[in-house]
A and B are shown apart, each in its own frame.
Chain A
Amino acid sequence: MGTGAGQEPDLSLTTPRLYIVRIDVVYSAPHVDRTDLPRAAGVQPRHGYDLKRAYDERFGRSRPLHFGQVYATLSRLLKNGLVEVDGVEPGGGPDRKRYAITDAGVTDVSRWLAQPEKPEPYLQSTLYAKVVLALMTGRPAADLLDSQRAEHLRLMRELTRRKSDGDLAEQLICDHALFHLEADLRWLELTAARLDDLAKEVSA
Chain B
Amino acid sequence: MSGTSLLVADDLRKSFGATPALDGASMEVDAGEIVAVMGPSGSGKSTLLHCVAGIVRPDSGRVFYGGREISLLRDAERSALRRGQFGFVFQFGQLVPELTCLENVALPLRLERMRRRAAERQAAQWLERLEVGDVAGKRPGEVSGGQGQRVAVARALVTSPKVIFADEPTGALDSLNGERVMRLLTAAARETHAAVVLVTHEARVAAYSDREIVVRDGRTRDMARAVS
Contacts and interface: CB of A to CB of B under 8 A. Distances in A.
Interface of A: 146-147, 149-153, 156-157, 159-160, 164, 178-179, 181-182, 185-186, 189, 192-193
B139 interface: no
B207 A189 contact: no
Given A159-B207, A160-B207, A164-B183, A153 B223 contact: yes
Contacts of A185: 203
Nearest to A149: B223
Given A146-B214, A146-B223, A152-B203, 17 more contacts: A146-B227, A149-B223, A150-B212, A150-B223, A150-B224, A150-B227, A151-B227, A153-B203, A153-B207, A157-B207, A160-B204, A160-B207, A164-B183, A179-B204, A182-B202, A186-B203, A193-B40
Interface in B172-223: 183, 202-204, 206-210, 212, 214, 216, 221, 223
Interface of B: 40, 183, 202-204, 206-210, 212, 214, 216, 221, 223-224, 226-227
A150 B226 CA distance: 9
A-B interface, 3 closest residue pairs, ranked by CB to CB distance from nearest? A156-B207, A160-B207, A185-B203
B227 A182 contact: no
A149 B214 CA distance: 10
Contacts of A160: 204, 207-208
20 contacts: A146-B214, A146-B223, A149-B223, A150-B224, A150-B226, A150-B227, A152-B203, A153-B207, A153-B212, A156-B203, A157-B207, A159-B207, A160-B204, A160-B207, A160-B208, A164-B183, A178-B207, A182-B203, A182-B204, A189-B40
B221 A146 contact: yes
A178 B204 contact: yes
Contacts of B208: 157, 160
Main secondary structure of the interface of B (DSSP, over half): mixed
Nearest to A154: B227
Nearest to A182: B203
A156 B204 contact: yes
Nearest to B212: A153
A150 to B, nearest CB: 4
A39 B226 CA distance: 49
Contacts of B212: 150, 153
Nearest to A181: B203
Contacts of B209: 157
Contacts of B40: 189, 193
Contacts of A192: 216
A182 B224 CA distance: 18
A69 B207 CA distance: 35
A141 B202 CA distance: 23
Nearest to B210: A157
A182 B178 CA distance: 15
B58 to A, nearest CB: 25
Interface centre among B207, B212, B224 (most CB of A within 10 A): B207
A9 to B, nearest CB: 12
A146 B204 contact: no
Nearest to A155: B207
A4 B43 CA distance: 30
A179 B179 CA distance: 13
A153 B221 CA distance: 15
Nearest to A179: B204
Contacts of B216: 192
Nearest to A157: B207
A151 B207 CA distance: 12
Contacts of B221: 146
A146 B206 contact: no
A152 B208 CA distance: 13
Nearest to A152: B203
A161 B206 CA distance: 12
Contacts of B227: 146-147, 150-151
B131 to A, nearest CB: 15
Nearest to A178: B204
